[in-house]
A = this chain, B = another copy of it.
Amino acid sequence: MGFKLARVCPYIESADLVVGENTCDGKKKAYEQFGRLKDTYVMDVPHVRNDDTRTQWRNEVKRLAARLEGLTGQKITADSLRAAIKLANDKRRALQRLDATRAADPVPISGLDCLLTVQAAFMDDSARLTGAINDMATECEKRVEDGVGVTPRGAKCILYTGTPMAVPNWRLFNIIEKAGGVVVGEECCTGSRYYKDLVPEDGETVDQMLDDIADRYLNIQCAIFTPNEGRKRDVIDMARRFRADGIIDCSLQFCTIYDMESTGMALAAREAGIPYMHLTTGYSNEDDGQLKTRVEAFLEMI
């Protein structure tokens, strides 16, 4: 919304259509205002998972497909959709490969670089980006073999979870890694949720493949869903897989859903015996000092 009001984002300005979604209250209501400034199409995302909402969501995805066909004048065919699914899966597979190297000690790549990689994956040409990520993965695999890391062996490993971090929001990762920690995983929408699940590549018809895409997205452990027990399970699994010494759960200010999930997340971490800290912050640098103090104290404690 701010990008549009200030006209600073070339993607928004050059787009023929902006696609939004009713996820949280803030986005849902923001798109109503955004729609006054720009041609906007809003998808309705269900908040529980059952047979009714699955049907509703599959239809929602098909409505978007029809709208895109109308807008572009291009028909989605089984062949084109199958190729697109493979293209997106290849990107996910490359990210999974990079991801796997982060379990090594010393860690071959910083959390900040991985965050930036996923952020870029939202925007860049898929084939080009997949090639670049595979090159990075090859380099990281070599580093692991050679025992080369971005931090000394035994550096404190942090699993990040919480609100997504869109470009250019690198602040918290910067603070954690400058304080001597290293982020080894991101359980968030600009992290593992983006690449952990693939879409089946053996769909026969457009309808079936659109259903597969819909199902894959309905399975994301976003805090808009209720109940959202899968997120806790994913966080604990990832913390163990990447040998995290602690979990940092961060909500953006006014992000009700992540703020409120932190209560349950804290309990899940305590049960699993993993140190946990919840932070709330915004986009400005105002609280850099406070965040730094809290992160340093947390790293020292764990």
Contacts and interface: CB of A to CB of B under 8 A. Distances in A.
Interface of A: 22, 24-26, 28-33, 42, 44, 46-48, 50, 52-53, 55-56, 59-60, 223-224, 226-228, 254, 256-257, 260-261, 263-264
Contacts of A29: 223, 226, 256-257, 260-261
Contacts of A263: 33
Cβ-closest 10 pairs across A and B: A29-B260, A52-B56, A25-B256, A44-B48, A25-B25, A25-B257, A28-B226, A26-B256, A22-B47, A52-B59
Query: Interface residues of A: mostly helix, strand, loop or mixed?
Result: helix
Contacts of A264: 32-33
Nearest to A260: B29
Given A22-B48, A25-B24, A254-B254, A226 B56 contact: no
A228 B22 CA distance: 13
Contacts of A55: 52, 56
A27 to B, nearest CB: 10
Contacts of A33: 260, 263-264
Nearest to A30: B260
Q: How many copies does the complex hold?
A: 2
A29 B31 CA distance: 22
A47 B26 CA distance: 13
A52 B62 CA distance: 13
Contacts of A226: 22, 28-29, 31-32, 42
Contact of A28 (B31, B42, B47, B53): B47
Contacts of A256: 24-26, 29, 254, 256
A32 B257 contact: no
Given A29-B256, A33-B263, A46-B46, 9 more contacts: A22-B47, A22-B48, A25-B25, A26-B260, A28-B257, A29-B223, A30-B260, A32-B264, A33-B260
A235 to B, nearest CB: 16
Contacts of A257: 25, 28-29
Find the residue from A22, A26, A226, A228 having the highest chain B CB count within 10 A. A226
Nearest to A229: B32
B227 A32 contact: yes
A151 to B, nearest CB: 36
Nearest to A224: B25
